[in-house]
Structure 1
Amino acid sequence: MSTALSVLQHTFGYSAFRGQQAEIVEHVATGGDALVLMPTGGGKSLCYQIPALLREGCGIVVSPLIALMQDQVDALVQLGVRAAFLNSTLALHEANDIEQALLAGELELLYVAPERLLTPRFQSLLHRSNIALFAIDEAHCVSQWGHDFRPEYIQLSVLHENFPDIPRIALTATADQLTRQEIVDRLALQSARVFLSSFDRPNIHYTVVEKDNPRKQLLYFLRNVHPGDAGIVYCLSRKKVEETAAWLQEQGLRALPYHAGLDTSTRQANQTRFLREDSTIIVATVAFGMGIDKPDVRFVAHLDLPKSLEGYYQETGRAGRDGLPASAWMTYGLQDMVLLRDMIEQSGTPDEIKRIERQKLDAMLGYCEAPSCRRQVLLHYFNEDATPCGNCDLCTNPPQTWDATTAVQKALSTIYRSGQRYGAGHIIDILRGKDTAKMRECGHQHLSTFGIGKDISEAQWRSLLRQLVAMAMIGVSEHGGLYLLDACRGILRGEQHLQLRKVSEARQWGGTKASTVTLDTDEQRELWAALRQCRKQLAEEQNVPAYMIFGDATLKQMLEKRPNSLEGLHGITGVGDVKLEKYGTDFLEVLQKHRLNHAK
C-alpha cells in the first residue's frame, strides 16, 4: 500500500485515500474481484486506475459512453498516464495503432465500449495481450430493472469465462438491492468482495418546489441562486429541451440543447462547449450526463419528475463532483406523475416490469412530498439510515402544517360524488365553486360539495391532493382521474386526523445560494479571477477543458494557502508530479505577481 499511496500522491496529486479507496485498491491490486458501490464524486475511478498502474499489463475499462472514454483518457494523459480508448470515433489506422500499442505493452489503461469488447476480433486481441485487470464501469447498466439498461452488459460474464485469473472490478454510483443482486448474478461476481459506501452527497442542497410557472421558477433559481454557474437542466421530452434552451437564450443565458434526436455533430459540439466553457447551461433529456466527468457542475435542475429515485440520484449526482457546494433543484406537480403513469401503462413492457416501475414512481413521489428531511428519504431508499441533514429545503426552511382533516374529507367526498374519474383540476373547480363549461356539462354545480372549499386557495388544494396521492389515500388512473383507496376510510369515518403541509410562496421559488468559494474582499476576487484566467489560457493551449488543468477545489486551495514555491504548490490537492512540472511555474507567477501588486 505504500506503493499505492505513492501513485496516489505523485500521479494524482492527493495526499491520502478517502473512505474505502485504500481497501479496494489493495484488494484488486492483489488479484481480488470487487463490486464497488460509491456515490458520484466519491473517487470510483481511482479504485481501478491505481490497481491498473500497480499491476503488470494494461487495465481494460468497459465504458458505455464515448464521452466518458474521451474525458477519462484526456484527464489521464494530463497526469502522464499512458491511456487510450477504442471506439467508433477513431479512424481505422488510429484504431490499429492503439491495438498495436496494447500488444506491445505500451498502454497502462485502455477504455473500450462493451459492443467492441464482445467481438471475436477484440477477444482474440485480449488473449494475445498482457491484461492487468478488467473494470466494468456504470455496472448498473446490466440491470433490466434499472434506469439505464444496456443489453450488451448482460454478456460481460464472458470476461470471467475467458479470463478466470484476471481480477474484475464492477463499479456503480446507483444500485438498489434488486439491481445489486442482478449485477452479481449477470457478471458472475458471486465470489467478489462487495464494497458499499454511503450514498450521501453532503455538499448537495436538495430542493423541490411546487410547480407554478416552471420557466419563471427556473429563471429565478438560475439568476438568484446560481448566477454565472455551469449546470444541467433536465426535461422529459426533446421538444421541451429545445423550447427551454431557446427561452433561456432569450433571457440572456448561455444555454444549449442536448438530446438523442439532434445530429451527432451538434450534440458533440454542444457537449464540448459545456465541458470547456464557464457559465454554460446544458438543457437535456436523460440521454445526457452519464459518465460526464466535469467536476464543477454547480447545479442540476429538473423541470419534470424523474421516473425513479435511482435516476434522480444518478442525475443530481452530476452536480458538485469536486466536493464544493452544489444544488439539486426540481419543480414538480401532480400532472408530472399522471404523465409518467400513462407512459408506464402504454409502454408495452411485461406486467412485472410495469409493477416495478410503478413502485419506483411511487417512491419518487414520496420523496417529493416528504414531510421532513429529503436526504433521509433518499438514503433510506438505498437502505441507509441518516439523521436530518440540515442541507435540504425541508431542513433549512421547515414547512408549516395545518389540521387538514375537514378539508381532506371534503376533497374525498367530492372525488366520490363526482364519479371517481375526474382529474385534480376539475375536482378543485368543484370545491372552489367555479363556473366552467365542463362543470355545466357534467352538472357538477349541483353536487352538495360544490363551493364548500372556497376558503382554501387553488395552490393549497393542489398540494393537499398531491400529499393524499403520496400517502396512498387516493390513486391516479392512467388518464389522470382521481379515485379513492382503502387507506382513506379512517378519515371519512372521522377516526383519523391529518396534519398536512401548508403551501408557502417561498417554496414556489426555493433554493439556497451555493457559493463555490468565499470571496470577501476585492483582493480575493482579483486573485481568484487571475487563477481562473491562467487555467483558461493553459486549457486553450492544450485544447482540453479547463478543469483538466486544475479543478476549482485545487484553485480554492491555492487562494487559501498562497504557496510561493514549487514544493509548496506540490502540497496542494490535485497537483501531481506531471502537472507540477507542466503548470507549476505558470501558477506561481500568477501568485507572485498578485503578491507584489498588493505589497505596494
Structure 2
Amino acid sequence: MINTESALKDYFGYESFRQGQKEIIEQVLEGKDSLGILPTGAGKSICYQLPAQLLPGLTLVISPLISLMKDQVDSLGQAGIPATFLNSSLDEEETRSRMSLVRRGELKLLFVAPERFQSGYFFDFLSSLPIDLVAVDEAHCISQWGHDFRPSYMDFAPLIKQLPSQPTLLALTATATPQVESDIRQLLDIRLENTVKTGFLRENLRFEVKKNVDKRAFVKSYLKEHQGDAGIIYASTRKEVDELTSYLDKSGFSVAAYHAGLSEARRRDNQEAFLFDDVQIIVATNAFGMGINKSNVRFVIHYNSPGTIENYYQEAGRAGRDGLDSDAILLFSLNDMRLRHFFIEQSESDEGHKAHDYKMLQQMQAYANTETCLQRYILRYFGDEGEDCGKCSNCTDERVATDITVEAQKVLSCVIRMGERFGKTAVSQVLTGSKNKKLESWHFEELSTFGLMKGQKQKAVSELIDFLTSEGYLNISSGQFPVLSVSINGKKVLKGEQEIYRRELIAQAPAKTTTASESLAVDADLFEVLRQLRLELARENHVPPFLIFSDAALRDMAAKQPEDETAFLEVSGVGQVKLEKYGEDFLSAIHDYKEKGAD
C-alpha cells in the first residue's frame, strides 16, 4: 500500500492532508472516477498532483486559463515534478518540442485547455499516450448553470471515455451549487458515492460588507492600515479600473491595473509584477485572477458588486490561500445593481438564462443586505450549513437590534394590498405617498397603506424592503422587473405570530481588524529577513516568490527558527526537494540573524 502521507511530505513538505484530500487521492489511486468539491485555497491541485507522481503513466489536466497552467507548471517545477502545458501562447516549434517530451515519457503532467479537444490531430496524439488520470479543474464550467460556463467543457467529456488507456477521471471545483454538482456528475458519469464534498467554509477569511460609503476614501484608508500586504481590488468596468488605479498611484500606493482593454504584453507584465511582489496591489476586472495561485494575498476588495454569489466567493477566495487570516470586503451600492441589470440586458443570452442571471443577482443583493452571519449566508447558498463565524462585519456589529415589527407590517400589508404584482420602487412610492402619475393610474392613493410611511424617505423604505427580502419575509420574482410577494414567514409577522428585529441605522466606526502578521507569534524582523531572501532567490530563479515558500512557511520558519536540516524539515511547506534547493540559504540567514541578536 502506498504511503501517501510520506509522499506528501517528500514532494510538497506538508505533514498531513487537508480535509478531503486523502479520501480523493485514495479513490483516484483505486481507479474510481471522482468529484471533489473543496473550497478555494483548500488544496485541490494536490488531489491530482500527488497521484500523478504515484501513478506510472501520464496525468492530463484540463484547465480553463493559460495563466493557471503556467502557474501550476512553475509550482511543480519547484517541487521537482516534471510538467508542461500546451496552449495558444506557444509557437508551433515549441508545441512540437513539448509533445515530443510527452511522447518520450519525460513528463508526469500535461496541462491543456478544453478547446484542444476540437482538433482530431490532438485527440490522436492523446490516444497514443499512457494516460492514467484525467483531472478536470474548475469543473463547474461544464454546467450551463455554472458561473463560468464553457461550451468546450461539455464537448470533451464524451472523448475522455474514448481514450484507449481508459484513464481514471477526477473533477474538481470550489463553487458548485447542488444543481451544478448534479450536472457535473451526470455529464462526466461520476457516481454519487464517489463525490467528496468537504463544505465551503473558509475559516481564515473575514467577510465584510460596507454599504453606501465613499468607496475611494474607504479603500485609501484601508490600504494605509495594511501597507505591505498584497491585495486584489475588483471593479466592474475598465474605466473604473483605470480611474481607481490612477487615483491610488497618485496617492502613493504600489499598484497596477489589469483588464481586457490593455495590450496582452501590458497585462502579462502587470500580472507578473503582482506575482513577483514588485507591486502590492492589482486593480482588475474579473478577467484577472482565475487560476492565479498567489498564496500571500491578504485582502480582496470588491469595489463593485459581482453578479453572483459564486463569482463573489471564488474571487474573494483568492485571499488567504496560505491559510493565514485575510479579508474579503464588498463595497455595495444600488448603482452596482443598475450596472448589473444593464449587463444582463445587453447579453446575448436567451430569456431563460437572463431570468436565471436576475435570480442570481437578487441573491447577491440579499447577501449585501442581510444582518445574519455573512459566512453562514454563503454556506447556505451552496447547500451547506455552519455556525456563525463570529468575526464578519455582521457578527461583530455592536449596534443595538430594535423591534421593527410594526414598520415591517406596514410594508407587508402594502405589498398585499397592491396585489403582489409590483416591485420595490412602486411599493416604496405608495408607502411614502409619492405623487407619481403612474400610481394615480392604478388608484393606489385610495389604498389604506398609501402614505403610511410618509415621514420617511423613499430610499430608507427601499432599504427596509431589501432587508425584509434578504431575511426571507418577502419573496421576489426573477426577471428584469422583479415583483414582491409576502412569504410564509411574512404572513406570520402580519398575524402577530413573529417579531422582526433590525440593527439601528447608526453609522459605527469599523472595528480594527487583526492582520495576519499580528495573529501569529513570530519574530517580525526575522520574517522580513526571510521574505527579502525569498525575493532574491525568486529573482535568481525567475519564479514568483510564493512558489519558493509561502508566507505561512516563512512565518513557521520565523517561529521555529530551525538550526539544522532535520529541524528545517519540520517547517510546514518544507519537503526534501525544497530542503535541497533552499535549505542552506535559509538556515544561513536564520543563523546570521540570531548571531546579530546575540551581539
Tell me the TM-score normalised to structure 1 length: 0.89
Deviates more, 1:29-38 or 1:461-470: 461-470
2:277 matched to 1:277? Answer: yes
Aligned counterparts of 2:591 and 2:181: Cα–Cα separation in 1: 51
CA drift of 1:432 comes to 11
In 2, distance between residues paired with 1:122 and 1:546?
Answer: 34
Helix, strand or coil for the counterpart of 1:386? coil
Structure 2 partner of 1:560 = 559
- Check 1:219–1:454 CA distance in 2 against 1; reply closer, same or farther (3 A cut): farther
Distance 2:555 2:473 in 1: 47
Q: Give how far 1:355 is off.
A: 3.1
1:25-68 CA deviation, whole Å, 9 max, x = no partner?
Answer: 12212322111111111111111111111111211111111000
1:162 matched to 2:163: yes
| CA distance, structure 1, for counterparts of residue 260 and residue 397 of structure 2 | 38
> In the alignment, is the contact (CA less than 8 A) between 1:35 and 1:192 conserved in 2?
no
Is the CA contact 2:477–2:484 (under 8 Å) kept in the aligned structure 1? no
Letter in 1 for 2:502: L
For 1:454 and 1:229, the matched residues in 2 are separated by: 48
The reply to whether residue 310 of structure 1 matches residue 323 of structure 2 is no
Q: What is the match of residue 41 of structure 1? A: 41
Contact 1:309 1:364 in 2 (8 A): yes
**1:467-506 equivalent positions in 2, closer than 5 A:** 467-470=467-470, 471=472, 473=474, 485-487=485-487, 498-506=500-508
Q: Percent identity?
A: 39
Q: Deviations over 1:99-138 (max 9, x none)?
A: 1111111111111111124421221111222222111111
After superposing the two structures, state which structure 1 stretch, 101-110 or 258-267, moved more.
258-267
CA contact (8 A) 2:84 2:107 kept: yes
Q: Which residue of structure 2 lines up, in the alignment, with residue 202 of structure 1?
A: 203
Contact 1:221 1:511 survives alignment (8 Å): no
Residues 354, 479 of structure 2: 8 Å contact kept:
no
**How much has 1:143 moved relative to structure 2?**
1.1
Q: 1:311: how far off?
A: 1.3
Give the letter aligned to residue 186 of structure 2: D
What is the alpha-carbon distance in structure 2 between the residues aligned to residue 117 and residue 317 of structure 1?
Answer: 30
Letter matched to residue 581 of structure 2? K
Supply the distance in 2 between the matched residues of 1:455 and 1:295 (Cα, whole angstroms): 51
1:21 aligns with 2:21: yes
TM superposition shift of 1:401: 2.3
Other structure's SS at 2:170 match: strand
Structure 1 CA distance, aligned partners of 2:278 and 2:456?
A: 45
Q: Is the 8 A contact 1:338 1:476 kept in 2?
A: no
Contact 2:358/2:479 (8 A) holds in 1: no
Counterpart of 1:256 in structure 2 is: 256
User: How many correspondences in the alignment?
Assistant: 591
CA distance in 2, matches of 1:195, 1:168: 14
Tell me the distance in 2 between the aligned counterparts of 1:371 and 1:220.
Answer: 24
**Given that residues 130 and 165 in structure 2 are in contact (C-alpha distance below 8 angstroms), is that contact kept between their aligned partners in structure 1?**
no
Deviations 1:397-429 (A, max 9, x none): 254322334545666899999x99898699689
The answer to whether the 8 Å contact 1:342/1:479 transfers is no
Give 2:141's aligned amino acid: C
Tell me the alpha carbon deviations over residues 411-461 of structure 1, each in whole angstroms, 9 at most, x when there is no partner: 6899999x998986996899599x99x99xxxx99x999998687688855
Report the CA distance shift for 1:322/1:345 in structure 2 as closer, same or farther (over 3 A).
same
Code of the residue aligned with 1:576 in structure 2: it is G
Q: Structure 2: how far apart are the matches of 1:543 and 1:429?
A: 64
Check conservation: 1:564, 1:588, Cα contact below 8 A.
Answer: yes
Shift of 1:182: 1.1
Give the 3-state SS of the residue equivalent to 1:162 in structure 2. Answer: coil
Q: Which amino acid aligns with 1:88?
A: S
Q: Residues of 2 paired with 1:193 and 1:426: CA distance? A: 49
Which segment drifts farther, 347-356 or 567-576? 347-356
- Is 2:309 aligned against 1:301? no
Deviation per CA, 1:526-577: give whole Å up to 9, x if none: 2111111110100010111111111111111111111000111111111111
Distance 1:143 1:390 in 2: 34
Change (3 A) 1:457 1:382: same
> Counterparts of 1:491-530 in structure 2 under 5 Å?
498-506=500-508, 512-518=513-519, 524-530=523-529
Mapped partners of 1:387, 1:469: distance in 2: 22
Q: Which amino acid aligns with 1:15?
A: E
Asked if 1:531 corresponds to 2:533, the answer is: no
Cα distance in 1, alignment partners of residues 475 and 178 from structure 2: 28
Contact between 2:140 and 2:148, CA under 8 Å: does it hold in 1?
A: yes
Which range moves more in the overlay, 75-84 or 453-462?
Answer: 453-462
Alpha carbons of 1:474 and 1:167: their partners in 2 closer, same or farther (altered >3 Å)?
closer
Secondary structure class of the residue paired with 2:147: coil
The residue aligned with 1:211 is 212
- Residue identity opposite 1:131 in structure 2: I
Classify 1:422/1:559 alpha carbon distance in 2 versus 1 (closer, same or farther; 3 Å): same
Please report how far the alpha carbon of residue 75 of structure 1 lies from its aligned counterpart in structure 2 after TM superposition: 0.8
Alignment of 1:223-242 (within 5 A): 223-224=224-225, 226-242=226-242
CA distance, structure 1, for counterparts of residue 149 and residue 224 of structure 2: 36
Contact 1:208 1:393 in 2 (8 A): yes
Query: What is the aligned-residue RMSD (CA, Å)?
Result: 3.5
The residue that corresponds to 1:550 in the other structure is 549
Contact 1:140 / 1:183 at 8 angstroms: preserved in 2?
yes
CA drift of 1:391 comes to: 2.3
Secondary structure (helix, strand or coil) at the match of 2:288 reads coil
Q: TM-score, normalised by structure 2?
A: 0.89
Q: How does 1:398-437 map to 2 (within 5 A)?
A: 398-408=398-408, 431=432
CA distance in 2, matches of 1:29, 1:112: 22
Shift of 1:212: 2.5
Conserved 8 A contact 2:31-2:168: yes
Q: CA deviation at 1:360?
A: 2.1
Contact 2:433 2:454 in 1 (8 A): yes
**CA 1:192–1:427: 2 relative to 1, 3 Å:** closer
The residue that corresponds to 1:589 in the other structure is 588
Take 1:383 and 1:510, find their aligned partners in 2: how far apart are those partners?
Answer: 30
Distance 1:476 1:2 in 2: 54
Q: Distance in 2 between matches of 1:386 and 1:473?
A: 24
Shift of 1:476: 9.2
CA displacement, residues 490-515 of structure 1 (integer Å, 9 cap, x when unaligned): 878988754333223127x5772322
Q: What amino acid maps onto 2:530 in structure 1?
A: L
Q: Which moved more, 1:491-500 or 1:62-71?
A: 491-500
Which amino acid counterpart does residue 392 of structure 2 have in structure 1? C
2:87 maps to what in 1?
A: 87
Question: Partner residue of 2:573?
Answer: 574
**Whole-angstrom CA distance in 2 between matches of 1:26 and 1:519:** 33
Of stretches 2-11 and 232-241 in structure 1, the one that deviates more from structure 2 is 2-11
1:425 & 1:281 partners in 2: Cα distance? 42
Q: Partners of 2:92 and 2:520 in 1: how far apart? A: 50
* Aligned amino acid, residue 385 of structure 1: E
In structure 1, C-alpha distance between the alignment counterparts of 2:372 and 2:524, rounded to whole Å:
37
- CA distance in 2 between partners of 1:582 and 1:354 (Å): 52
Equivalent position SS for 1:106: coil
1:474–1:11 distance in 2 versus 1, CA, 3 Å: closer
Instruction: State the secondary structure of the residue aligned to 1:140.
Output: helix
Give the letter for the 1:557 counterpart.
D
* Structure-to-structure mapping, 1:65-464, within 5 angstroms: 65-157=65-157, 158-163=159-164, 165-190=166-191, 193-224=194-225, 226-277=226-277, 280-408=280-408, 431=432, 461=461, 463-464=463-464
- What secondary structure sits across from 1:208 in the alignment? strand
CA deviation after TM superposition for structure 1 residue 73, in Å: 0.4
Q: Distance in 2 between matches of 1:489 and 1:339?
A: 33
